[in-house]
Structure 1
Amino acid sequence: MSWVLMDIGNSRCKLVITSEDRYQVLGKRDWDNQEFAETHWLQNLSLMEQRHTDIQAILIASVASDEIKDKIKTFCQEVFSITPEFLVSRDLYASAKKDLTNSYDKPKALGVDRWLAMVAGLERQIGSDTANQPFAVFDAGTAITLDMVDKEGRHLGGHIVPGIHLMQKSLFGDTGKIAYGAKLDFEPADSSQWLGQNSLQAVELGTYQAAAGYLQVCLEQLVAKYQVKKLYVCGGDGAGLMAKVALPEELDWQDCPELVFEGLYYQHLNG
């Protein structure tokens, strides 16, 4: 038997099929949300249903509105004849060997993608030689988030800052002269450049440096202040940013693009 895991963001849906017995990717697909148009979503879901006929559960991570969730629920019921479960952040996640506790006064207010990434991080810690050490999760997507968990499994808190593309969108959308300059000369930067020679390049390179600079400070603080030795990295820009910073020698990091899916699996598995 298998489960459908879905991570629905602001612009795209990512879907994974996993075995019920253990987290194991049996199939995957992603698509643009296209404002949750019915025909578009039914086509994409039907393709997965045709390839995997033993679906028993549909688990979803999404911060969409209740109206959008109702649409997705209807799509899933039509294609799979299953009502999906929308997972939420909790005050406590209890694994077999260690608990994860939420630092927020109102646990559900913590973004579910952040929470599930920490759930997955905890499970990875349990199965490693750093089981009794603190860890952190760095997710560089539309927003950049950082979350810290101590050796007792307590979430200490985190950061939310604009992602690279969100910073670029803000500059081009809210500053007319920059947008005008980018339209006049739209030659993108190449990989050898550090300084932009037109407005488009200046924004591209500058926002990337801003994100990398933030990450560098975070890595230094995680090691010096919290003695973190393990960092789990996800999000489309995560691994690229890690390649641009000076990594403290005490810190080990793993590129984990499916971290939220792993969290979906474990939270459902452990109730």
Structure 2
Amino acid sequence: MLLALDVGNTNTVFALIDGGEPVAQWRASTSSQWTADEYAVWLSQMLSIDGTFKLTDLTDCIISTVVPQSLFNLRNFARRYCGGEPMIVDEKSVPGIEVRIDRPSEVGADRLVNAVGAHVKYGGPLVVVDSGTATNFDVVGEDGAFLGGIIAPGINLSMQALHTAAARLPRIAIERPPKVIGTTTVGAMQAGVFWGYVDLIEGLLARIREEFGAPMKVVATGGISSLYKDAAKTIDYFDPDLTIRGLTEIARRIRSA
């Protein structure tokens, strides 16, 4: 059984893949301090709670990480508990995708994985909007090539900046406000953060489409995407499993290469 690890700046997703399909998934806070054995203990506990699988069922591992400091311990974890050397996603290790940007080595593993996962299911050309710590807009060509994109601050960063930089502004929850014009401080902040984020997405998508010059599908993913699902009208598909699908496809390609 394949273990797919998607290591983001904020959270790490652990997904079990059996026969090419995800069968279980868990999320933990990302920590570059966890040892290989701590990963094993945590995952064993999750497997025990689920009751369907065991750590000894793992035979292979693929890792996508944007936190380089975590890779050493994750490699050791995979070697000890997942059957051997893991597959590591980078611009040189993903078969079947051409990275057409000025410096291919700079593209994050998460962006390549999303490009593969989106193109496999939806075809191209398309834009992947991945909402996390940052909000990535990744452009994928008709042939599946990675063409570049935009990196913008995520909604949590905007909220944190408001609270940190302005002494009288409180920390607020992320939610859609009942109206645009806030009549309280919290309501005004929620309107600014929520609708500002939605308009950032729709405005940048409009500019991408204008510059690209051809019809494009738009796929949204990431932990925050459900927040604006009913508000961002320019998004065609919401796909929370996009990254895991991309990792599964990349693992399949590497095995068969």
TM-score relative to the length of structure 1: 0.79
- CA change 1:150–1:86 in 2 (3 A) is closer
User: Following the alignment from structure 1 to structure 2, what is the Cα–Cα distance between the partners of residues 226 and 266?
Assistant: 29
Instruction: Specify the alignment match of 1:227 in structure 2.
Output: 214
Choose from 70, 73, 76 the match for 1:74: 76
Q: Find the aligned partners of 2:77 and 2:29 in 1 and give their Cα distance.
A: 15
**1:97-176 alignment runs, 5 A limit:** 100-125=97-122, 131=123, 133-173=124-164, 175=165
- Give yes or no for contact 1:222–1:228 (8 Å, CA) kept in 2: no
Q: Does 1:54 align with 2:57?
A: yes
Which ranges of structure 2 fall in alignment gaps of 5 or more residues? none
Query: Any conservation in 2 of the 1:182–1:200 contact (CA below 8 Å)?
Result: yes
d(CA) in 2 for partners of 1:92, 1:59: 11
What residue is the counterpart of 2:240 in the other structure?
257
Q: Which amino acid aligns with 1:206?
A: G
> Distance between the aligned counterparts of 1:9 and 1:237, measured in 2?
13
Give the paired residue count: 247
Structure 1 residues 188 and 88: alpha-carbon distance in aligned structure 2, compared to 1, 3 A threshold: closer
**Greater Cα offset, 85-94 or 213-222:** 85-94
Displacement of 1:60 after TM fit? 0.8
Stretches of structure 1 lacking an aligned partner (at least 5 in a row): 95-99, 126-130
More displaced stretch, 194-203 vs 209-218: 194-203
In structure 2, the CA distance between the partners of 1:84 and 1:198, relative to structure 1 (3 Å rule), is farther
Does residue 25 (structure 1) correspond to residue 22 (structure 2)? The answer is: yes
Question: Percent identical across equivalent pairs?
Answer: 19
> In 1, are the aligned partners of 2:176 and 2:191 still within 8 Å (CA)?
no
User: Equivalent residue for 1:202?
Assistant: 188
Whole-angstrom distance in 2 between the partners of 1:75 and 1:86:
13
Question: Conserved in 2, the CA contact under 8 Å of 1:91 and 1:107?
Answer: no
1:216 alignment counterpart:
202
Deviations 1:50-105 (A, max 9, x none): 6243322111110212x4211222333444453333211249742xxxxx321223
Residue 270 of structure 1 aligns to a residue whose secondary structure is helix
CA shift at 1:146, angstroms? Answer: 0.5
Q: Deviations over 1:144-186 (max 9, x none)?
A: 010112323333320000010011112222x2xx233427xx7
Distance 1:182 1:79, change over 3 A: same
- 1:197 positional shift: 4.1
- Matched to 2:44, the amino acid is S
What's the TM-score, normalizing by structure 2? 0.82
Residue 180 of structure 1 aligns to a residue in which SS?
Answer: coil
- What's the RMSD between the two structures over aligned residues? 2.8
